[in-house]
Each structure stands twice: as C-alpha cells, then as structure tokens.
Structure 1
Amino acid sequence: MNDNLFQLLNRMAGHYDWIDDFMEFCAQDIVLIMIAVIACLWLTGKESFQKSAFFACLTAAVSLLIGSLIISPAVDHPRPFVAHQVTQLIAHAPDASFPSDHATFAFSLAFAIWFTNRRLGVALLALSVLTGIARVYVGVHYPADIAGAIVLSFVVGFLVHKLSGILNFLPMIPIRIYRKIADKLTFLPRAQ
C-alpha cells in the first residue's frame, strides 16, 4: 500500500511545470511561512502567544530529536529514489527516510499551536498536509514517512501541551529577555 500510494502521487510529477514548481515550493519552503507565523506570535509581545510560540518550538525540537536520533536509525528505511525508479524533482541525500524531518517539523509546529489556538492550528495543519503530500510528490518520501511524522508530532505535541503547566517556567526566561529588549527598542511591541 505504501508503494502504491507513493506511485500514485509521484506518477503525476514531471508533467506540468507549474504544478511541479508549486509542489517543490510546498515540499521545501512552506515551512518558512510556518516559521514566520511562529515569529509573528512571538513578536506580538502578548505573553500567551509567546508561550504558544515557545512550546511550538520545543515540540518541534523534541520531535526532530526523537525522529532523527532514535526512530530513523532504528528503522533505517531507504528513500524512494534509492529503492525505485522515481521522478525526483528535488535533490536529497540518500539517507534514511522515516520519519520525514520536514513533515515532523511542520506538523509539530501545527499541532502545538492547534492545542492552544484551534483556528490558527487548523491553518498550520493545512500547510503541513501540503508539505507532506508534496514530499511524496517530489519523490523524496513515502506516505508512511509522512504518517510516521504526523503520529510522532501529535504525540510529542500532546505531551508538551499536557506538561506545559509544569514547564511554564521555561518560556518565562526568553519572555523576560524579550521584555527587557522591548523596553529599550521602541519598535518592538511591549509585553501585554
């Protein structure tokens, strides 16, 4: 099923330049939009938004560490272009593919925000889904790599959200630093 789903999506690649260009953007650069959203949350100066941004970054960091240091070496699944003849639209190292780092990063940010702000979280989840589909379309991941990233991101996001009350002191350190800087630089929003 994993191979069949991969072939279904990847078979569409290489036929229309504008679709390929869009999918390449989604596969590589859509995460930059998500980073910008997290940065905007932080720069509002509103403590609750800053905490959400902090915990989103923490969720992404923990998810990526677990994925790349524990799961990926244990599973050691080859990328589609290593195991099959594929239409590969972006260059990538032939390292282990499970779980997808891009999808893990995107879904970690999205789920972390979704737990505190449903509307913004849904928008970020939509961007994450585009990222995941595009990673398969461009030939660098299997659908199972994306599914693994979703599960990992959700579990870590849920645990971080549940522990955020205990971990509440962590975001206060950078928030205090931000407030000191904002007091000196008039163009930064003040704490709210």
Structure 2
Amino acid sequence: MDYQLFKAINRLAGRNSMLDKYMIAVSKKYYFLLIIVLIYISLTGYIDRKVVKKALVSYCLSISIAYVLNQFFYKPRPFLEHQVNLLIPAKKTSSFPSKHTLFLFVVSSTLFFHDRIVGSYLWGLSVLTGISRVWLGHHYPFDILGSAIIGSMTSSVVERLENAKFSLK
C-alpha cells in the first residue's frame, strides 16, 4: 500500500514544470521558514520564548529516536528500489524516518500547543512539505506519516513534562 500511494503521488511529478518548481521550493524552503518563525519568536516574544527551547529539546529527542531507529532499521529510499520521477538529487540514507519531516512537525506541533491558529497553519504547511518529499521521489508516504507521528509525539511529551514540572511547584 505504501508503494501504491507513493506511485500515485510521484507519478504526478514531471507533468507540470510550474507545479514541480513549487514542490521543490516547498521541500527546500519551508524548513527555513520555520527557523525564521523560531527566531522571530525569540526576538519579539510573540509567543512565550520558552517555546523555542521546547522545540529544540523536542527536535533533539526526535533526532535521537531517528538515530536509534537507523541503527537497527534501514529502509532504502524509493529511487534506490524503483523507477521514480526524481526531481532533485537526494542522499542515499535511510528513507525512514525523514529528518526533514521530523523537524517540521516538531516545530509545528510545539507552536500549536501555544498558538492554535499559527500552529495549525504551520502544521498544514508541514503536511504539504511531506507530500512534496514524496512528490520529489525522496520518501514513501508512510515514512512521512511515521516521521510526523514521532515529531508530534516528542513535542507532546516535552510539553507535558514541562507542564507537569511547573504544576508540581
């Protein structure tokens, strides 16, 4: 089923150059948009500045989980196993989990806990970015889904631990 979903999305790549350029831009640039959002929060205090710390802690936790998973589990990227529409080159590292997607969902989920409107908007853009990673031929849909779950769950755990710590005082 994962490969069938991959094919359904990836076969659309290469049919419309404007859409391909858009998906490439989403995949490459959205990552930086979230970094800018975090910097903005740090500098202006738009949302509690502790949110940036929580996002960084959550990301470190997510990357640690990804590292452990990669030590025991290697999943070849789609372009290594199948004929795909590969729009831009990619590393030959494990397809799961997607570190790119981990970061996006960590930040989006962390912000969601503090500003539901901003978090929802960014979470939607994170989903679009995940689709773009499949579109480009870099990941399978379940890689994106699994990374979204790991990123969101680590943010949730960090948020709950932080809230529990302050509620005990």
- What's the secondary structure of 1:156's corresponding residue? helix
For residues 2 and 58 of structure 1, what CA distance do their matches in structure 2 show?
Answer: 31
CA deviation profile, 1:167-192 (whole Å, cap 9, x unmatched): 67xxxxxxxxxxxxxxxxxxxxxxxx
Map of 2:57 onto structure 1: 58
For residues 45 and 6 of structure 2, what CA distance do their matches in structure 1 show?
Answer: 43
Map of 1:21 onto structure 2: 21
Letter of the structure 2 residue corresponding to residue 133 of structure 1: I
Give the ranges of 4+ consecutive aligned residues of structure 1 lying more than 3 Å apart after TM superposition: 165-168
- What's the secondary structure of 2:97's corresponding residue? coil
For residues 166 and 57 of structure 1, what CA distance do their matches in structure 2 show?
Answer: 19
Letter of the structure 1 residue corresponding to residue 125 of structure 2: L
Map of 1:157 onto structure 2: 155
For residues 126 and 76 of structure 2, what CA distance do their matches in structure 1 show?
Answer: 23
Map of 2:140 onto structure 1: 142
CA deviation profile, 1:95-117 (whole Å, cap 9, x unmatched): 11101111111001011111121
What is the Cα-based RMSD across aligned positions, in Å?
1.4
- Say whether the 8 Å CA contact 1:72–1:97 is kept in structure 2: no
How much does 1:17 deviate?
0.9
Aligned residues: 166
TM-score by length of 2: 0.93
Quote the sequence identity (%). 34
For residues 26 and 165 of structure 2, what CA distance do their matches in structure 1 show?
Answer: 33
Letter of the structure 2 residue corresponding to residue 151 of structure 1: I
For residues 57 and 131 of structure 1, what CA distance do their matches in structure 2 show?
Answer: 20
How much does 1:166 deviate?
5.8
Gaps of at least 5 residues in structure 2 are none
1:78 aligns with 2:113: no
Map of 2:35 onto structure 1: 35
CA deviation profile, 1:107-164 (whole Å, cap 9, x unmatched): 0101111112111110110110111000000000000110110110121111100111
Gaps of at least 5 residues in structure 1 are 169-192
For residues 57 and 92 of structure 2, what CA distance do their matches in structure 1 show?
Answer: 28
CA deviation profile, 1:1-45 (whole Å, cap 9, x unmatched): 100000000000011111000000111211111111111111114
- Say whether the 8 Å CA contact 1:87–1:139 is kept in structure 2: yes
- Say whether the 8 Å CA contact 1:104–1:153 is kept in structure 2: yes
For residues 164 and 95 of structure 1, what CA distance do their matches in structure 2 show?
Answer: 33
How much does 1:72 deviate?
2.4
- What's the secondary structure of 2:83's corresponding residue? coil
For residues 140 and 167 of structure 1, what CA distance do their matches in structure 2 show?
Answer: 39
Letter of the structure 2 residue corresponding to residue 119 of structure 1: I
Aligned partner of 1:111 among 101, 109, 112: 109
For residues 150 and 45 of structure 2, what CA distance do their matches in structure 1 show?
Answer: 30
Larger Rg computed on CA atoms? 1
